[in-house]
Structure 1
Amino acid sequence: MIRTATLTLAALIAIPAVASAHTIDQRRDWQAEKIEQGRKDGSITWREGIKLRKEQRDIARTESTFKEKGYLTKTERRTLTQMQNKAAHNIRAEKNDSWRRWWLLPRVGR
């Protein structure tokens, strides 16, 4: 009985850590897709795309540094969430600013 309760408690503690890491990865993938969509439709210019992709690399680098010990603390998750919130705001701002690739010019770069 005690063994079952201990295993159940351990599983309940581990689930939020795995779920939050999965959410961070999903959100980073979603943001990368939004950047590429903006590049394809011309709402994000080449220079804006470079800046936004660098921001995504910085988030990934920070996450891998935090995960070196094998888990994320509450403070580290909060830091990553704040970084992703800022990146989402920047993506939205760049897509909706007045800078656009001219429709007759080919898409350059990645």
Structure 2
Amino acid sequence: MKLAKFLPFAYASMLAMPVLAQSVATEVQRDVNQQKRIEAGLQTGVLTTREAARLEKEEARISRTEANALSDGKLNSQERRRIARMENRASRDISAQAHDDQAGNTNSVSSQRMQADVARNIHQQERIEAGIKDGSLTNREVGRLERGESRIDGREAAAGRDGHVGVREQARIQRNENRESNHIHRQRHDRQQRG
């Protein structure tokens, strides 16, 4: 009798897990898409290095919000809505910056450095997304990785704030990206699996 009462709840919780995983994957996929748009803007010259830096600062806030939301391993509907609003605002800001009268020099060393850093962001976010999809990352692990991505985005924003990304700034960013890449690898290959 007690088992019969428990089974509907157990079944419902099993159904909720893939929905939660899908929700987290959707958030990370939006991060990937926004980063690709920033990279494309830099490559085509519709974004300056300074504009890209401002957009990276916004992406850092989004990643930090995702990390905070996932710190308990769950993403509730209120957190999901807040992140979606932030992503929507970032999307509008990318579009506005891409369609203003400023033009970036795609061949400048600074733009090339920012493009390389943003391309690396895309790759790291895609690895996180793959970990969600294959079940090798738990939501808490995703949250910790998003916090690391937030720090990197923040450093990119600081580096390009003046419109110029220097050699030392990029080297520091690359060291942080390497550290985060190793962290992603370790988290994806540990014994923790999505439940």
Count of residues in correspondence between the two structures: 109
Report the counterpart of residue 25 of structure 2 in structure 1.
22
Deviation at 1:45? 0.5
Paired with 1:85 and 1:7, the residues of 2 have a C-alpha distance of 35
Please say which of residues 35-44 and 93-102 is displaced more in the overlay.
93-102
The answer to whether structure 1 residue 32 and structure 2 residue 42 are counterparts is no
Deviation at 1:90? 0.4
Please say which of residues 10-19 and 57-66 is displaced more in the overlay.
10-19
| Paired amino acid for 2:58 | E
Deviation at 1:27? 0.5
Deviation at 1:64? 0.4
The CA RMSD measured in Å over matched residues stands at 1.9
Report the counterpart of residue 53 of structure 1 in structure 2.
56
Please say which of residues 4-13 and 80-89 is displaced more in the overlay.
4-13
| Paired amino acid for 2:93 | N
Judged with a 3 Å threshold, the aligned counterparts in structure 2 of structure 1 residues 94 and 107 are, in CA distance, closer, same or farther, namely farther
Alignment TM-score, normalising by the size of structure 1: 0.88
Alignment TM-score, normalising by the size of structure 2: 0.51
- Asked if structure 1 preserves the Cα contact closer than 8 Å seen for 2:51 and 2:97, the reply is yes
- Asked if structure 2 preserves the Cα contact closer than 8 Å seen for 1:38 and 1:95, the reply is yes
Report the counterpart of residue 151 of structure 2 in structure 1.
none
| Paired amino acid for 2:108 | P
Higher normalized contact order (CA 8 Å, seq sep 6+, divided by chain length)? 1
- Asked if structure 2 preserves the Cα contact closer than 8 Å seen for 1:43 and 1:101, the reply is yes
Paired with 2:105 and 2:21, the residues of 1 have a C-alpha distance of 43
**How big is each residue's C-alpha offset from its partner over 1:56-86, in whole Å with a ceiling of 9 and x where there is no partner?**
1110011101111111111000000000000
Paired with 1:4 and 1:93, the residues of 2 have a C-alpha distance of 51
| Paired amino acid for 1:9 | A
Q: Return 5+ residue gaps in structure 2 as ranges.
A: 115-195
Paired with 1:32 and 1:73, the residues of 2 have a C-alpha distance of 25
Please say which of residues 8-17 and 25-34 is displaced more in the overlay.
8-17
Deviation at 1:6? 4.7
Question: What is the percentage of aligned positions where both structures have the same residue?
Answer: 28
Q: Return 5+ residue gaps in structure 1 as ranges.
A: none
| Paired amino acid for 2:77 | K
- Asked if structure 2 preserves the Cα contact closer than 8 Å seen for 1:39 and 1:107, the reply is no
